Structure 1
Amino acid sequence: MNNQNNEEPEVRPPFIIVQPGYATGDMFAIAATLINDERYHVLLSTTMDEFENVNDPYDNSKSIREFYRNSGISEDRIHTHRVPEVRSPGLASELKKEVINLLIHYPNISKGEIIRNYYKPVGEGT
């Protein structure tokens, strides 16, 4: 007897840790979190242009992203969001909006649920 059903497995949204592009000290703990649990992703603020030139002296996002890649974290779990400055006022709010944009396409999920359950501040990794 075959008990197999034809339903698709439930696709669950990832948890997304937001990391300012200047926060190099947090990258080690965040990498450990990403390595330990594949359901976690990271969203880095960056001033990098399409040629990977950074436009802010405080922006370390390029080296942080490279560190994650070299740690074996797949590119599809490393997200970037372009900002004018990595230490600008309102950055947290902007990154929160980007997390919503990344996850809103998942079925049966609201903006409020994304913020409550899937948006993770940088401290989540540390």
Structure 2
Amino acid sequence: GVPKSMDGDLIDGADGANSRVAKAMDAGQYNFAIAFQERIKIPDDKMAFYEEMAEMYVGDDVSPDFYGWVFPKYDHVGVGTGTVINKNAIKQYQTAIRERAADRLEGGKLIKVEAHPIPEHP
């Protein structure tokens, strides 16, 4: 495309944690959390539990500064956690959230693994 320029009072750079907009305007450095999630297809009888339910877990085993979750995603669940202060331990925290929810995940099949940065603040 052809480069264009605009003048304005406000820039809304809604392009994620690795924002090109923030870098282009030299918005500075900021901390970010790492979020780790596994999408798991669980048996229909177990999925029924999540028809009107989502789970959030807190505690140092699942994250010292974030939370763990089991969120329904139409025909499967997202099971994950995040952290700002100890990114190297994210898989350890993920193991803990899977252990906490083990009864409801039994018989499940891992269908996708995801990890994303989440900006702490601009």
TM-score calculated relative to the size of structure 1: 0.27
Greater fraction of residues in helix: 1
Whichever of the two has the greater Rg, that structure is 2
Determine which structure has the larger strand proportion and give its number: 2
Q: Provide the TM-score with structure 2 as the length reference.
A: 0.27
